[in-house]
Amino acid sequence: MTIENLSANKSFGGWHKQYSHQSLTLNCSMRFAIYLPPQVSSGEKVPVLYWLSGLTCTDENFMQKAAAQRIAAELGIAIVAPDTSPRGENVADDEGYDLGQGAGFYVNASQAPWDRHYKMYDYVVNELPALIEATFPVSDRRAISGHSMGGHGALTIAMLNPQRYTSMSAFSPICNPMTAPWGKKAFTAYLGKDKATWKNHDASELMRQATQFVPAKVDQGGADDFLVEQLKPEVLEAAAKVSGYPLVLAIHEGYDHSYYFISSFIEEHLRFHATHLYK
């Protein structure tokens, strides 16, 4: 598969690069960013943390605001950040910020007009890792993390594919999208009205029924404006108690939904993943 390098910036001895490629899964051109730590210059294959961003975001939000490169360089971890949805003139969209372009929700849409392009689950789980592992000096050791909508994606994708990921984490995830306005709108559009199909993409439902475990870390800001209506971490915590899931969930008072919160705790997340990626 042909990929095009769009930019390259040296950072903490490694390289942050942006690429575009034609996605067969999404039927459009896609962009992703990758941070390659300095260890790759000596020929070492490094493990990868996949980062899934939230509503309205692109690969640039995390790479420019999270301040993750310094610790990734120290730990020898590559970071891959895809876009949050398919994009383009012929890609279905919606007037709202919480549906359509910028709001793929990391599911495979089954409903028209979304089903032609919106297959973000398959893209993140299969196509993108295959491309990354065939193109860059990385191993097949993978972890996954994300924020808000991307936190929902990281948790659900890891629990649906426990053999593919060593660990999972999330900042301010949509923990119970079946009962949250964001989730109900997106799931109805992408998956249809049958709520039985929604359960496969609800982190709390998956965690409650889980029999295979992926080590999990979740951090939530106590001053997050979306905490009560949209995010519902207490539902995820209750689900973990039912199945005995190895979830570590912390509420940080005073922190909001922004990248000020993420950058304050990203080092903890990277070190958490490193213990499992290098185990």
Q: Catalytic amino acids?
A: 148, 224, 257
Q: Which helix (H) or strand (E) holds 140?
A: strand 138-146
Tell me whether residue 229 is exposed, middle or buried, using C-beta atoms within 10 angstroms of its C-beta: 0 to 12, 13 to 18, 19 or more. exposed
For residue 1 the two structure tokens come to 């598969």
**Enclosing H/E stretch for 120:** helix 120-122
Give the closest residue to 80 by CA, choosing from 142, 21, 23, 126: 142
DSSP track, 71-109: HHHHHT-EEEEE-SS--STTS---SSTTSBTTB-TTSB-
